[in-house]
Amino acid sequence: MNVNSLIVNTSMADALDVIGDRWSLLVLRDVFLGVRRFEQLRKNTGASRATLTRRLESFVLNDILYKCLYSTTGKRFEYRLTEKGLGLFSASLLSWQWECLWVEHANNVLPKRLFHSSCNYELTPVAVCQHCKKNVEISDVEWPDLSQHLDLQFQEITAKNKQRRVRSSVRSGLEDLSLVHVSSLIGDRWSLLIIIASFLGVDRYDAFQKQLSIASNILTGRLNLLVEVGVLKRFSYQDNPPRNEYRLTEKGKSLFPLVMVMRQWAIDWVLKGNAAEVLTHKCCNQPLVVDVQCQCCKQKPWPRDVQFQHFDA
Ligand SMILES: [Zn+2]
Ligand SMILES: [Zn+2]
């Protein structure tokens, strides 16, 4: 089993190229809320003109949004969601949920609640197995042995990594700070690889290095960061020489459904259903296909049925 091959095979890399960074998540959030025009998106997200232009171009190129003329006189366009873009709504809901659950000040900038008009209840989105409808949890998923084709896949992921700079999660006070944490974790390829390796049970420094073929300075930096943000916890298992283990905290484990939902989107929309590898859901012994549903009415949430509420608890 190799984590690099898993992430490349699942086309997580493609999903992340589209939605992995914070600006993309913010733009998508606003598009799901019904914002369609450039100036309004710029005002809401706080993105610079250049940044927003790049993100929108990338969304159009990747068939997430399409441009639609709304004024023939000024040749003005607005941005609308494609079917593929609409498919990202679930991942967007789960990112929002994770950030609200785990980041203390998130409530200042994110809506506190979601309301589901299909059932008239507060919306709690849950990732479930399409077959048996049980919630998707780490311990219930069996991973395949993917030890072949390592060289090629490793080259691919390294090449993609070089194009991506690590983002600082500290921003100036003027910007919209929502989704900073979740995007700094899933938007950074190495952090995500380490998190996935942890899902697979890797916990020692040497094992991470072997699984990920990662330079030691990068590995040390990312492990420290993940401990700092509370996704991993460090345990000493040997004093002389000192050696540590890194285990997922509850906060780290709760990223699992989000990662699985992003994987499912990549399989459905990028790989057109042809996942190179199959994960098995141990509860029903079926290949894992992930759905997102409202915990209350079991329906799949769509933007038109979901209202964001900013009231206090
Ligand atoms: Zn199942
Ligand atoms: Zn509902």
Question: Closest Cα partner for 245 from 233, 253, 254, 255?
Answer: 233
Query: In the prediction, which pLDDT does 113 show?
Result: 77
Task: Give 123 Cα–ligand 2 centroid separation in angstroms.
Answer: 6
- The answer to whether position 93 is within a domain reads yes
User: Residue 216 has which token pair?
Assistant: 């030691």
Which listed ligand is nearest to 136 at the C-alpha? Answer: 1
Task: Give 255 Cα–ligand 1 centroid separation in angstroms.
Answer: 19
Task: Give 124 Cα–ligand 2 centroid separation in angstroms.
Answer: 8
Task: Give 126 Cα–ligand 1 centroid separation in angstroms.
Answer: 14
Residue 174 has pLDDT above 50, yes or no: no
Query: In the prediction, which pLDDT does 247 show?
Result: 96
- The answer to whether position 75 is within a domain reads no
Q: What is the pLDDT of residues 198-241, one digit of tens each?
A: 988 889 998 888 878 788 999 999 999 999 989 999 999 889 88
Task: Give 19 Cα–ligand 2 centroid separation in angstroms.
Answer: 26
- The answer to whether position 202 is within a domain reads yes
Query: For 179, left (φ over 0), alpha (ψ -120 to 50), or beta?
Result: left
Query: In the prediction, which pLDDT does 233 show?
Result: 97
- The answer to whether position 37 is within a domain reads no
User: Residue 85 has which token pair?
Assistant: 């873009």
Task: Give 280 Cα–ligand 2 centroid separation in angstroms.
Answer: 27
Residue 191 has pLDDT above 90, yes or no: no
Mean pLDDT, residues 164-193 taken together: 59
Give the CATH number of the domain where residue 210 resides: 1.10.10.10
Query: In the prediction, which pLDDT does 29 show?
Result: 83
Residue 160 has pLDDT above 60, yes or no: no
Full domain range(s) for residue 128: 3-19+86-169+176-309
Q: What is the pLDDT of residues 37-67, one digit of tens each?
A: 999 999 988 889 999 999 999 899 989 999 9
Which listed ligand is nearest to 297 at the C-alpha? Answer: 2
Please state the pTM of the whole predicted model: 0.82
Mean pLDDT, residues 193-200 taken together: 86
Mean pLDDT, residues 62-75 taken together: 87
Query: In the prediction, which pLDDT does 16 show?
Result: 65
- Where is pLDDT greater, at 114 or 19? 114
- The answer to whether position 27 is within a domain reads no
- Where is pLDDT greater, at 10 or 169? 10
Task: Give 158 Cα–ligand 2 centroid separation in angstroms.
Answer: 42
Number of domains the chain contains: 1
- The answer to whether position 141 is within a domain reads yes
Residue 232 has, within 13 A of its CA and on its CB side, a CA count of 28
Q: What is the pLDDT of residues 242-281, one digit of tens each?
A: 899 999 999 999 999 998 998 888 888 877 777 767 789 9
Task: Give 272 Cα–ligand 1 centroid separation in angstroms.
Answer: 21
Residue 167 has pLDDT above 70, yes or no: no
Question: Closest Cα partner for 246 from 268, 223, 225?
Answer: 223
Task: Give 118 Cα–ligand 2 centroid separation in angstroms.
Answer: 5
Task: Give 277 Cα–ligand 1 centroid separation in angstroms.
Answer: 17
- The answer to whether position 228 is within a domain reads yes
Q: What is the mean pLDDT of the chain?
A: 80
Task: Give 197 Cα–ligand 1 centroid separation in angstroms.
Answer: 22
Q: What is the pLDDT of residues 277-293, one digit of tens each?
A: 778 999 999 999 999 99
Task: Give 115 Cα–ligand 2 centroid separation in angstroms.
Answer: 8
- The answer to whether position 47 is within a domain reads no
Distance CA 191, CA 220 (A): 11
Task: Give 21 Cα–ligand 2 centroid separation in angstroms.
Answer: 29
Residue 106 has pLDDT above 70, yes or no: no
The answer to whether 124 touches 294, Cβ cutoff 8 Å, is: yes
